[in-house]
Amino acid sequence: MTKSSFVKLLREHGIDEKTVVFDDPVRDGYCVKKNYYKWEVSYRERGIDYDCVGFPSESAALLYLLSILIGEDGHNGAD
């Protein structure tokens, strides 16, 4: 999965793309960033990263975050 296809899927599910932060050390929200040899997904609030999970590729990290945001069953809880 590429970053552009990820953002497209967010839009299709009615999720504001600003919910996700890419490589920004300041903004709060769900973060996707490269950290040396791996990709990390975390939730950042007030400058602190929570629940950081590492992945071998950006694609795997984006798929993981997508499953969190839209839910395993394809619903994001907004219904």
Domain that holds residue 21: 3-70
Per-residue pLDDT of the chain (79 residues; tens, 9 = 90+): 999 999 999 999 999 988 999 987 778 999 999 999 999 999 999 888 899 999 999 999 999 999 999 885 444 444 4
Residue 77 lies in a domain: no
Listed residue (56, 58, 60, 26) closest to 44, CA to CA: 26
Q: Nearest-CA neighbor of 16 among 29, 25, 26?
A: 29
What CA–CA distance (Å, rounded) separates 21 from 39? 13
**Token code pair at residue 30:** 């769900």
| Structural domains counted in the chain | 1
What pTM does this model have?
0.83
Which pair of structure tokens corresponds to residue 69? 């945001």
Local structure of 49: helix, strand or coil: strand
In a domain, 35, yes or no: yes
